A and B are shown apart, each in its own frame.
Chain A
Amino acid sequence: MFPSRHFIGIETLSREELLEILSLGAKYRLLLDQDDKNLTDLKNCTVANLFFENSTRTRFSFELAERRLGATVINFNNESSSSAKGETVLDTIKNLEVMKIDMVVIRHTLSGICNMLSRSVQASIINAGEGTHEHPTQALLDVLSLQQHFNEFKGLSVGIIGDILHSRVARSLVFALRLLGANVHLIGPKTLLPAHFERFGVTLHHQLDPILPELDATVSLRIQMERMESGYLPSLIEFHKAYGIDERRIGKMKSHAIIMHPGPVNRGVELSHYAVDSEKSIILDQVTNGVAVRMAVLKMIYEFRSSSL
């Protein structure tokens, strides 16, 4: 059993725990393809979704996962309070707790806020993406997608491309892929890929073309517009020329290689239209898997809570 009240990051998971979540996620994925996909496992559980940063996909994905498991769901979407500091969020959660909320799914712009909250509350904290730290359920759905495609992680070469420095997706995915034994290549400009990343046991590249033919999968990261203003990059066009996946580059990829993206895609930047819609792209499949792995996380935390009462 996955041994924690909270789900904050991949970094602290063991390989066994990760595999256990993935295997439950795979079961739920099969269930989602059936007509009757609603369960009642979490009928005694109330989950609050607190999104302090805008999100459509992840929020719907969590809400669906919660409802599929039969939980009572309340939503709090407040982008206007995205600057809410740790102590304010803590107060909010303490108020929810006394209203008998069991779990809190939180997305916030501040790295470390989940860790801070988990030290002070009884409710389970589930990280739905915090700052530039981790986005663990995104990594789960990514590795589930890779597993469905390749079965095995040993010997698999995965390239993560783009703004690694500011990416919570990249961090979580690196931790997950390393746990599972895949070879990880981080690819991006020096300004967005500092040398310290090497300590995660990955290989760094500042050019995409030389390594591209060796990759089994590419994960392109969404680039934020403000990176141009802060001097990390000259322009989106230049980024696309150096790191964008387009028809020409697809031609250089392995025949079985797949294209992934956590979404939403800036078409023509990380991926060309052609790449998004190409048969190598499994972007939409990733989205379905998102619901399945989130169901797995919710269910496992629920069982942990029930067993530790």
Chain B
Amino acid sequence: MILFKNFEIHDPYPGGFQGFGDVLVHSTGLISEIGPDILAPGAKVIEGNRRLLVPGFCDTHANFGEPGLEYRETVKTGSEAALAGGFTTVFIYPNTRPVIDSLQVLEYLKDKIEDSPIRIEIVAAISRNCEGQLISPVKSFTDAGVHTFSDGNLPVQNSLFMKRACDYLSMFDALVVVNPEDKSMSGSGVLHDGFQSIRLGLPGIPAVSESIMVHRDCEISRETGSKLHFNNVVTREGIEALAFHKARGTDVTAGIAPFYFILSDEDLDWYNTNYKLSPPLRSPSDLEAVLSTLKNGGFDIICSSHTPQSEIEKTTDFLSAPIGAISLETTFSLAFTYLVKTKILSLQQLLEMLVVNPRRRFGSEENPLKKGFKADFVIIDPFETLSVMKETIHSKSKNTPFLNHKLSAVIDMVFTRNRLHSLHEKTSSDYTAHS
């Protein structure tokens, strides 16, 4: 048994425990008791020391590299990065080699996932090889426990195919996840079509390439009755489209990754390829729209959009460089620094977007801090500074625009799957509640 004593507990679930208190974890990995002044003779005691204790986060958008791209991220390194960022559940996307579009690939991954210290949920491809032409075996996937489908960074372009796929997916009550991008419009573009693309002489991606797809897929969702989620909506036009369709009652939700509530295209450091993202960093006016939408509750989820790319691949010119940045380890600290400390969101609101809404929308096991539930929580030191350094990044890749940044709040410990992980002690001090 482990007694977590004198923590500032924030359980964002409705009616969840809020305030100073203790959590007693039983050797089965379940919460035996939560409340003030718990007495547990013989239990190992971990003192709070002004730290926060909150339920483990759930990431609805991460890319690992298995199978086929293990040099970017393995399930093992990705899980370590997730732990370091306080994520105890992570949804991984099918843009692998091969694509997760068959039971064979699913079975291969399931073996790897068993050994992970965190819960990994798989998002299966909507179409074979994410090519937007043949529907992947949806029934087989849902029978195997996969209920989320997406073509990830290769969103379906053909509208009729998308309608048919959504019709089919809706029979299984599956969640359709889209990165909204009209590729015929974004074409060879590599950053926001705006002043910066003009200045650097790089082909731009028009803002409407996003809003067109937000409109299209919302219309398709409405027509087919399928559940729809957008990983990121980052343009003013796209956000307006989203709000319009939400107000109309379409079953649609949206996430937002930290890049898009912190940076704009104007922050691009010359041709630094770590700023090459998909969707691209948009204009300062779009950034403003994202922040005000966060404030008024227009986004449902904060996700990492973790996209590892090897240093070798990123060491090239901007046009040739692959897209994406890692983010699992910094998402909480970035959100805490740029949203909570700036009072755009309360800690409660942030936790709803990192803990509650992701699990509810994506249908993963919930983890309130309540007696009888599996102990699944994160211990955060809000007064410590996180230095984002290449040397201390757990992910196999180091591509992030936040290198050398200093952020508020550090994830100290994670308890999940009946195991306590201390993240900042040199010696391995992981132990289970048995000890």
Chain A positions within 8 Å of B195 at CB level: 196, 199
Chain A positions within 8 Å of B317 at CB level: 85-86, 110-113, 116
Stretch at the interface among B197-205, B228-236, B362-370: B197-205
| A188-B201 Cα distance, complex, nearest whole Å | 17
Inter-subunit contact A110/B320 (CB<8 Å): yes
Contacts A/B (CB < 8 Å), 29 sampled:
A11-B199, A85-B317, A86-B315, A86-B316, A86-B320, A87-B315, A87-B316, A90-B316, A110-B317, A110-B318, A111-B200, A111-B202, A111-B271, A111-B318, A112-B200, A112-B201, A112-B202, A112-B271, A112-B317, A113-B317, A115-B271, A116-B318, A120-B315, A131-B202, A133-B200, A165-B198, A168-B201, A171-B199, A194-B193
Q: Interface code A187-198, partner B: CB below 8 Å = 1, 0 otherwise?
A: 000000010110
Question: How far in angstroms is the closest Cβ of chain B from A1?
Answer: 24
User: Which residues on A are within 8 Å of B, measured CB to CB?
Assistant: 11, 85-87, 90, 110-113, 115-116, 120, 130-134, 165, 168, 171, 194, 196-197, 199
Chain B positions within 8 Å of A199 at CB level: 195
Which residue on B lies nearest to A131, using beta carbons?
A: B201
Inter-subunit contact B201/A134 (CB<8 Å): yes
Which of A110, A112, A168, A196 neighbours the largest number of chain B CB atoms within 10 Å of its CB?
A112
* Count class of interface residues, chain B: 10 to 19
Question: How far in angstroms is the closest Cβ of chain B from A299?
Answer: 26
Inter-subunit contact B194/A132 (CB<8 Å): no
Chain B interface main SS type: loop
Chain A positions within 8 Å of B318 at CB level: 110-112, 116
Inter-subunit contact A197/B198 (CB<8 Å): yes
| A110-B316 Cα distance, complex, nearest whole Å | 11
Inter-subunit contact A85/B201 (CB<8 Å): no
Question: How far in angstroms is the closest Cβ of chain A from B368?
Answer: 49
| A112-B190 Cα distance, complex, nearest whole Å | 12
Question: How far in angstroms is the closest Cβ of chain B from A53?
Answer: 14
B residues 238-269 touching A (CB-CB < 8 Å)? none
Question: How far in angstroms is the closest Cβ of chain A from B152?
Answer: 24
Chain B positions within 8 Å of A120 at CB level: 315
Does B393 make an interface contact (CB < 8 A)? no
Inter-subunit contact A132/B315 (CB<8 Å): no
Q: Give 8 new A-B contacts, CB below 8 A, not counting A111-B201, A196-B195.
A: A86-B320, A86-B321, A87-B320, A116-B317, A133-B200, A168-B201, A196-B194, A199-B195
Q: A85-B317, A85-B320, A86-B317 are in contact. Are A194 and B198 (CB under 8 A)?
A: yes
Q: A112-B270, A112-B271 are in contact. Are A85 and B316 (CB under 8 A)?
A: yes
Question: How far in angstroms is the closest Cβ of chain B from A138?
Answer: 14
B residues 288-332 touching A (CB-CB < 8 Å)? 312, 315-321
Question: How far in angstroms is the closest Cβ of chain B from A91?
Answer: 11
Question: How far in angstroms is the closest Cβ of chain A from B154?
Answer: 21
Which residue on A lies nearest to B283, using beta carbons?
A: A196
Question: How far in angstroms is the closest Cβ of chain A from B262?
Answer: 22
Q: A116-B271, A199-B195 are in contact. Are A87 and B312 (CB under 8 A)?
A: yes
Question: How far in angstroms is the closest Cβ of chain B from A304?
Answer: 20
| A130-B315 Cα distance, complex, nearest whole Å | 18
Query: Which one, A116, A165, A171, contacts B316 given CB within 8 A?
Result: A116
| A113-B199 Cα distance, complex, nearest whole Å | 15
Chain B positions within 8 Å of A90 at CB level: 315-316
Question: How far in angstroms is the closest Cβ of chain A from B84?
Answer: 29
Chain A positions within 8 Å of B270 at CB level: 112, 115
Which residue on B lies nearest to A84, using beta carbons?
A: B320
Chain A positions within 8 Å of B320 at CB level: 85-87, 110
| A264-B106 Cα distance, complex, nearest whole Å | 58
| A99-B194 Cα distance, complex, nearest whole Å | 42
| A87-B271 Cα distance, complex, nearest whole Å | 14
| A120-B273 Cα distance, complex, nearest whole Å | 14
| A90-B314 Cα distance, complex, nearest whole Å | 13
Closest 10 CB pairs of A and B: A86-B317, A133-B201, A86-B316, A112-B271, A132-B201, A85-B320, A111-B201, A196-B195, A87-B316, A113-B317
| A197-B194 Cα distance, complex, nearest whole Å | 9
| A86-B319 Cα distance, complex, nearest whole Å | 9
Question: How far in angstroms is the closest Cβ of chain B from A85?
Answer: 4
| A134-B320 Cα distance, complex, nearest whole Å | 18
Question: How far in angstroms is the closest Cβ of chain B from A291?
Answer: 25
Chain B positions within 8 Å of A133 at CB level: 200-202
Question: How far in angstroms is the closest Cβ of chain A from B364?
Answer: 39
Chain B positions within 8 Å of A116 at CB level: 271, 316-318
Question: How far in angstroms is the closest Cβ of chain B from A133?
Answer: 3
Q: Interface code B199-228, partner A: CB below 8 Å = 1, 0 otherwise?
A: 111100000000000000000000000000
| A134-B197 Cα distance, complex, nearest whole Å | 13
Question: How far in angstroms is the closest Cβ of chain A from B282?
Answer: 13
Which residue on B lies nearest to A88, using beta carbons?
A: B316
Question: How far in angstroms is the closest Cβ of chain A from B349?
Answer: 35
Which residue on B lies nearest to A120, using beta carbons?
A: B315
Which of B201, B271, B315 neighbours the largest number of chain A CB atoms within 10 Å of its CB?
B201
Inter-subunit contact B319/A110 (CB<8 Å): yes
Which residue on A lies nearest to B270, using beta carbons?
A: A115
Chain B positions within 8 Å of A112 at CB level: 200-202, 270-271, 317-319
Which residue on B lies nearest to A135, using beta carbons?
A: B201
B residues 170-208 touching A (CB-CB < 8 Å)? 193-195, 197-202
Chain A positions within 8 Å of B271 at CB level: 111-112, 115-116
| A127-B256 Cα distance, complex, nearest whole Å | 39
| A115-B270 Cα distance, complex, nearest whole Å | 8
| A169-B292 Cα distance, complex, nearest whole Å | 40
| A87-B197 Cα distance, complex, nearest whole Å | 22
Question: How far in angstroms is the closest Cβ of chain A from B274?
Answer: 12
Which residue on B lies nearest to A11, using beta carbons?
A: B199
Question: How far in angstroms is the closest Cβ of chain B from A28?
Answer: 28
Question: How far in angstroms is the closest Cβ of chain B from A132?
Answer: 4
| A196-B197 Cα distance, complex, nearest whole Å | 9
| A197-B201 Cα distance, complex, nearest whole Å | 11
Which of B312, B315, B317 neighbours the largest number of chain A CB atoms within 10 Å of its CB?
B317
